[in-house]
Structure 1
């Protein structure tokens, strides 16, 4: 018997996006729009890193409450993809609605440091 719960409780780091043999390291940080959007039950978020960086990728609701931390780790330079299964930190299904995904690479202080980048995107979950 297939247990769907075993497949959907954790975010899935899809890893590096397959690249052609002659692919170069991206020239700048970039965060792409998630796809599909709107989504049900899961969505993908892709980003590019021109250098190895500490990455955080977090999902928030529109009231600013943290729903899920997808990434909080060091990652290599290159193109990457992570999937969100529409579940919160406790494994509960998030409600239909608009969510924000906040991406940060590197460290920030009062002045922007070279090699630091952050961006926020918007996505819609339809149950």
Structure 2
């Protein structure tokens, strides 16, 4: 009778150990998912902050270009036109990527935030971002 009791107790321990391991894995997965969502929310907030900075820059340049106490310089008008164009590009990027699944990729996030922080966005910057997004989409399809 003792060997049967030992086998039963061993089986019970192994079963409970696997259940605890499964529960730990589930709770770890939930914790990771919550952390990912928190990181994503923080990133979205950071995108909005960069967009607000660009809006403030446009407002400052508009005030300088329309200030009647001094004649606006040509450079003020050029800077204003450039800032308006960059604000439009940044707004489009934020709108396109806010709920896009590719921003879960750290590479895409880093490229996107570095572009949003620039005063002058070049075509190569947007191409690099598009390539990173395409690679992430391809990686998601494979999984």
TM-score of the pair, normalised by structure 2: 0.25
* Higher RCO, Cα 8 Å, sep 6+: 1
TM-score of the pair, normalised by structure 1: 0.27
The structure whose residues are more often helix, as a share, is 2
The structure whose residues are more often strand, as a share, is 1
